[in-house]
Amino acid sequence: MAKSSSVVLTLNNQEYTIVRATLRLWLQLEDYKEKVSRSAESGHIDNMVDAIYAYISAVLVDIEPEEIPWYDVVETFYKLVMLNVPSFEFPLLQSVIDNHRFNWDYEGRTWYIWLNILSSKGWTIEYISQLDIDDAIGIAQEIAIDKQLELETQWAMSEKSVSYDKKGKGKFHPLERPSWMRPMAKELNMAKLPDDMLPKGILLSWRRDDEPPKPN
């Protein structure tokens, strides 16, 4: 089923048709969404509300979220978030993110990280900023894969990729891949034990030292 590219909102008795964000705005919205999540986890409700307002204001520039009833704010935020979810589960977005902040981080840096990646295609800033988010993520992932495979080829040809034991036998050590390129963990298959393999007799469970055992 194709993902909807727009949503209709009714706020203060006025109807708005909102289209899905392109890359630069989407990255800005993702930063706001992360602030909402962090603030909620840390219990900073005021910061969470501010981040929700900032998210809505970035999309609806002519709307003052403070003037909208709280239930409309919550519904609007939810609908906008769902509208701007990528259509595919890109492995690149599933990678483990380190929460450590570097001293060269700054507000809005995410956009420039993506711009640095995608500008390798020779595109202008204006073109990149207006890319569909699915296209942008897919292309960025393929660029990252090509770069990783190139590094692996260079690594395989270097002496550092091989270690030798006391007998002089060499062992190749492949270059480590980012988490999103590694094989997915297999799901455990749950199997029911046959009745003849289950423990026999009465099973007792102990709750407290002063409480007698009770049969299950």
What would the pLDDT profile of 168-201 be if each residue is shown by its tens digit? 889 999 999 988 898 866 665 666 666 665 666 6
118 closest CA partner among 81, 144, 87, 149 = 144
The pLDDT mean for the chain works out to 86
Report the pLDDT value the prediction gives residue 167, as an integer from 0 to 100: 84
**Is the pLDDT higher at 41 or at 3?**
41
Q: Model pTM?
A: 0.76
Please report whether residue 167 resides in a domain: no
Judge residue 199's burial from the number of C-beta atoms within 10 Å of its C-beta, 0-12 exposed, 13-18 middle, 19 or more buried: exposed
Q: What are phi and psi of 19, to 5 degrees?
A: -95, 160
Please report whether residue 40 resides in a domain: yes
Please report whether residue 189 resides in a domain: no
* DSSP single-letter state for residue 17: E
Mean pLDDT (whole number) for 194-214: 58
Please report whether residue 168 resides in a domain: no
Report the pLDDT value the prediction gives residue 16, as an integer from 0 to 100: 93
Which pLDDT band holds residue 89 (cuts at 50, 70, 90)? Answer: very high
Q: How far apart are CA 3 and CA 168, in angstroms?
A: 58
Please report whether residue 23 resides in a domain: yes
Give the domain range for residue 58.
6-96+104-148
Q: How many CB atoms lie within 10 A of CB 118?
A: 21
Quote the number of domains for the chain: 1
Report the pLDDT value the prediction gives residue 103, as an integer from 0 to 100: 83
In the chain, count H helices and then E strands.
Answer: 6, 6
Report the pLDDT value the prediction gives residue 1, as an integer from 0 to 100: 45
Please report whether residue 174 resides in a domain: no
Which pLDDT band holds residue 102 (cuts at 50, 70, 90)? Answer: confident
Please report whether residue 156 resides in a domain: no
Please report whether residue 49 resides in a domain: yes
